[in-house]
Structure 1
């Protein structure tokens, strides 16, 4: 890969857009901190031997294809949503983070986000786990 990430490296031809939100002033590649975190978790799982790049590519590609076929607009958000969904699928399949635990934490974070004033850090608290999720799940 080139040191100058703002140049098109062919990613746009594959994805239909360049998924790397590039800010030349700050050097930020990811649009949101969670995107960098999910990327780093994927690399760490591979480094630990808990997923292969082939498995990752197969699962991630399936999520990208499903998003495309469902008519979702292809944006940086869609790209990283698919990335997160692929990581969650592999984590559940390998019992690294079972689906039930993922749902429990997802709903806790949704509750924490809803109760946190704009501009403040979102901190997960015990009480966030006591509120049902969107579909009555905890």
Structure 2
């Protein structure tokens, strides 16, 4: 018996997928808008894995729809990387108490 193929190889991929579905369900964008954004990323010439394109498309849609700014998204990503780097393996990663980065 062969194991079924897993749709996600990393937890962040599932989280990006779930966030996309959630934002669509909240009415922030249509599936047509999503397809256009994802297609633009895939055809951008950037060499990324599929979910790398997915994440970039999600960031673009979030910024385009005014849900956040590109600068704030990048700052939050940097804060998460910094927090992960200082968190011992196996411990939950937490951001600082700065309300601007929650």
Q: TM-score range by the shorter chain?
A: 0.7 to 0.9
1:122 corresponds to: 93
| Consecutive unaligned residues in structure 2, runs of 5 or more | none
* 1:109 paired to 2:87: no
TM-score (norm 2): 0.80
Structure 1 runs of 4+ aligned residues shifted over 4 Å read: none
Distance 2:59 2:72 in 1: 11
1:96 corresponds to: 67
1:42-94 deviation line (CA, Å, top 9, x unaligned)? 1111111111111101110111112xx24x2x6xxx11111111011110111
Cα RMSD (Å): 2.3
Distance 2:42 2:81 in 1: 24
Correspondence list, 1:1-138, <5 A: 24=4, 28-66=6-44, 69-70=45-46, 72=47, 78-126=49-97
TM-score (norm 1): 0.61
SS in structure 1 at match of 2:43: helix
| Consecutive unaligned residues in structure 1, runs of 5 or more | 1-5, 7-22, 130-138
| Structure number, greater radius of gyration | 1
Total equivalences in the alignment: 98
